[in-house]
Amino acid sequence: MSCFVPFDSKNLEISFFVFRPMVVFTDELIEALKHLSVCSESLGCVYSSIFKSIHGNMIIWYGAWMKKSDEKKKLLHETLLSKLHHVSSMAILVDNSFFNAYAGESKTGFPASKISTGDTILVNTMDLRSKGFDDNLPYLCLALFKSYFLKMEGVASGVCFQCEEKPRVACLYVWKSLQACYSWLLNSDYISTIQLYLEPFSPNVKYDIFKVVYVNREDEFNVEFFLPKEVEIRGGTEDEGQQKHDQFERVVLNSVK
Q: Rounded to two decimals, what is the model's pTM? A: 0.83
Q: Each residue of 148-193: pLDDT tens digit?
A: 998 999 999 999 999 998 888 999 999 999 999 999 999 888 888 8
CATH 3.30.70.100 fits 2-219+233-256, yes or no: yes
Do the beta carbons of residue 145 and residue 161 sit within 8 Å? no
Q: What is the Cα–Cα distance from 129 to 145, expressed in whole angstroms?
A: 22
Q: Beta strands 12-21 and 155-163: pairing type?
A: unpaired
Q: Each residue of 87-146: pLDDT tens digit?
A: 989 999 999 999 999 999 999 998 899 999 999 999 999 887 665 556 778 888 899 899
